[in-house]
Every structure is written in structure tokens, then in C-alpha cells.
Amino acid sequence: MIDVFNVKGIVHFGIAGNMNNSMSIGDVSIPKQITNAGLWDWLNPDKVKGVEDIAYLDVGNYNVPKGDGDNELGSIGYNYEQLYSVTGHINAPQNVFWINTTQEWLHLAADLEKMELSQCVNASLCLPKKPKLVVGLKAATAYIFVDNAAYRNFLYDTFGVSSSDMESSAVAMTCASNGYPIIVIRGLSDLAGEGGDNTVHKFGSLAATNTAKAVLEFIRKLPPY
């Protein structure tokens, strides 16, 4: 789209899994930073953990039942991305773990925290409390659907991410590389690892509705280009 159309910026939106126990199904998150949490490698058991990885997951820590922590799956190391950007040096990538969304657009979005979001899918299916919109959290992207409570807690405890999806970091990386503004708006459809597909099927439409409401309100706040 950037190559073909006269794009001024990207408003990226969709639903996501919730990773943060202080957030709830139906809430909307507009993150300030996004990481590709799917960029990791299995580590050789004899390899010394070094500076090329930003964090590690030792599979043995999640043995059931808990034992001595040994597991033949070993450990994985989370890698940095290489960012080539129009503001950087030619052929000299910058190692990054977080991609920032556009600060000016986040300021515009801050007013959305007061907006009303939908609480009910229909007359007989409602959330126990009114959903909220939060600006300034962190998000993760990976090429997997996170349906594991232990892994959800690991991602939250290690990286402080509040939502997980499968696209946002790629869109944000493209915008950062080419110098375009980007904002990400994600409605939370399920608590990752709790309820499985059933929760998504029940409340996915509500999360999508609240996301769409937030997107429309944000677009109304954009200055004319």
C-alpha cells in the first residue's frame, strides 16, 4: 500500500488475546510499543547464554509435576529484530526489540480513554463490567495463537506485554522502516490460555465492535492531510 497509494499513515486494528490480568475481555488496548515475541531460537544445551538474546525461557521451569528443572527441550532465547530505516545509516541495521508507535497519534488517542464501549453481545450475553480503553501499554506479536496460561504469564512477567496478536509488529516494523506514522488498536477477545476458542467465539464480535468504535473515534481526531 505504501508503494502504490498516497499513504499518510497506518491505523492498524483487530482483536487480540489478553495477557494482563488487570485487563478484561472487551477492553481495547492502544499500545505504545510492540515486539515480535516469535523471534526466538532453540539454544544448544552447551551454549552459554550471551548478549545476542534479550531474554530466555527455560522449558524445565514448566515441568509437570515440578521436578529438578531438567527438560530435554532445553531453553529458547528471544532475539532482537534488525531494523533498516530511512532515518538510519545505509546498510547498517539497528538491533531493536521494541517498535514504538507514533507519539503524536498516541496523544490524540489519549482522549479515547473516556469513550463508552459496548458491554453486551446481545440481550442475554453481557460482560460483568463495562469495558475500558487503555492507551500506552505494550503488545506482543507472534506467528502462534497463545492458548497457554503459563506462557501468557511468562510473556507478561518477562516483557510486560498486555496483548498478543499475529500481525501488529510486522505492520509497525514496515512503518518504522519507511518513516510512516502508525497506531495499533486492539480489542481483547479472550484471556490467553483461559477458555480456549469458546471465549473467542462468544466475545470475539464484541471485541471487534469495540475496536471498530475506537478506530472511528480516532480517525475523527486526525487532522486533515
Q: Which domains does the chain have, with CATH numbers?
A: 10-39+85-221 (3.40.50.1580), 40-79 (no CATH)
**What pLDDT does residue 225 have?**
78
Q: Largest alpha-carbon pair distance within the chain?
A: 61
Nearest alpha-carbon partner for 197 in 147, 141, 139, 140: 147
What pLDDT, on a 0 to 100 scale, did the predictor assign at position 47?
62
Between CA 136 and CA 106 the distance in angstroms is 8
Which tens digit of pLDDT belongs to each residue from 149-160? 999 999 999 999
Per-residue pLDDT tens for 90-105?
788 999 999 999 999 9
Q: Which pLDDT score, from 0 to 100, does residue 46 have?
A: 67
The helix/strand/coil state of 46 is coil
In this structure, are residues 53 and 78 in contact, taking their beta carbons and an 8 Å threshold? yes
pTM: 0.92
Task: Please give the average pLDDT of every successive group of 10 residues along the chain, which has 225 residues.
Answer: 93 96 96 97 74 88 83 90 87 93 98 96 94 99 91 97 97 96 97 72 93 98 90
Rounded to an integer, what distance in angstroms lies between the CA atom of residue 30 and that of residue 151? 22
